[in-house]
Amino acid sequence: MTYDPSNIFAKIIAGEIPSHKVFEDDTALVMMDIFPQSRGHTLVIPKAQSRNLLDADPAALSAVMPLVQRVAKALMQTTKAGGIRLAQFNEAPAGQTVFHLHFHLIPAFEGVAMGAHASGRADDAELAQLAKKIASNL
């Protein structure tokens, strides 16, 4: 399987498609998932081109994990979640739908079931507000 540079996350990284951005530097972009499985569902996306974990450069993987941790902590603080799920899918049979490496951070709330993967679209105003709050807690 080869990397297809026309995937939607590549277009978001290139600035061709808008997103509710939480953070960006030379190596990664963090944004709200527009079909969240819970309030605050955030994606951490390394900018280096790879489909997923299987073809990623190990150096890119080790560079991004501290950011994943930082965002997880900011999400806990912002959403007051009781826990957080880190998820990452590799190829379609495993549930991957966008073929550019990304890490899901999904806040978990006691007694609240998580929504289905990539289903209902969130309200843009709410996502914009959340992105701002998470960014301020990074």
Q: Which residues bind ligand 5GP (CB under 6 A)?
A: 8, 19, 31-35, 89, 95-98, 118
> Residue 53 or residue 118: which is nearer to ligand 5GP going by CB?
118
Phi, psi of 74 (to 5 degrees): -65, -35
Q: How many helices (DSSP H) and strands (DSSP E) are in the chain? A: 3, 5
Shortest distance, position 32 Cβ to ligand 5GP, whole Å: 6
Shortest distance, position 85 Cβ to ligand 5GP, whole Å: 12
Which of 20, 41, 100, 102 is flagged as catalytic? Answer: 102
Active site residue 20: no
Quick one: DSSP state of residue 13? H
User: Pairing between strand 103-108 and 21-24?
Assistant: unpaired
Shortest distance, position 96 Cβ to ligand 5GP, whole Å: 4
Report the distance separating Cα 84 and Cα 102, nearest Å: 16
> Residue 74 or residue 105: which is nearer to ligand 5GP going by CB?
105
Catalytic residues: 102
